[in-house]
Amino acid sequence: MEQIAKKTNVKDNLRDPLCSSPRLLFQTALLVALTMLAPRLQRIAAQTSDAPPNPPPDDRYKTDVLLIVAHPDDETAIGSYLAKLTFDERKRVAIIYTNRGEGGGNSIGNEQSTSLGAVREIEARRAVAAFGIYNVWFLNGRDTPGQDVFRSLQAWGHGATLEQVVEYHGERVNIRLSGR
């Protein structure tokens, strides 16, 4: 009778080799949890295997050269190279502007701020369309004064602008950076 009483004593059970190892207790609890979750994990795996495959890339957005510039009109610095790419080499070019240039000056009209950005976007789209470039995107980076790239990145939330580029262009991208 005393042996049975000793076995029911909690302090004595903690001395039992099967209960004394925290690692063994963790492994046992993990095994029990995985055993209970196994049917659910199998159902989830079966559902994902039934998913349709991703569609192929859209050829309308295929590009040979991706030009990333800060402001509308920055592409004019390499206008002759763009002409060579599009007319002579028959390359498909896409352009990403990191902002609309709404912080710049306007010496020929009354537009300022957002309306100036809209005018500059229209002008840029028309200008590059003359080269046969129709895949043009404008990101929502804030136009910052000056030439300091780090200041611009700070104002744009650093990786947020890059995330927009990756979202627009998928996995394979040729990137050419140009500043003002």
Q: Which domains does the chain have, with CATH numbers?
A: 2-49 (no CATH), 59-178 (3.40.50.10320)
What average pLDDT score do residues 136-140 get? 87
Contact at 8 Å (CB) between 173 and 68? no
Q: What is the pLDDT of residues 65-99, one digit of tens each?
A: 988 888 888 898 899 999 999 999 999 999 988 88
Contact at 8 Å (CB) between 176 and 64? no
What average pLDDT score do residues 152-168 get? 66
Q: What is the pTM of this model?
A: 0.58
pLDDT of residue 49: 62
Token pair 């059970």 in the structure block, residue: 13
What is the rounded CA–CA span in Å between residue 158 and residue 81? Answer: 29
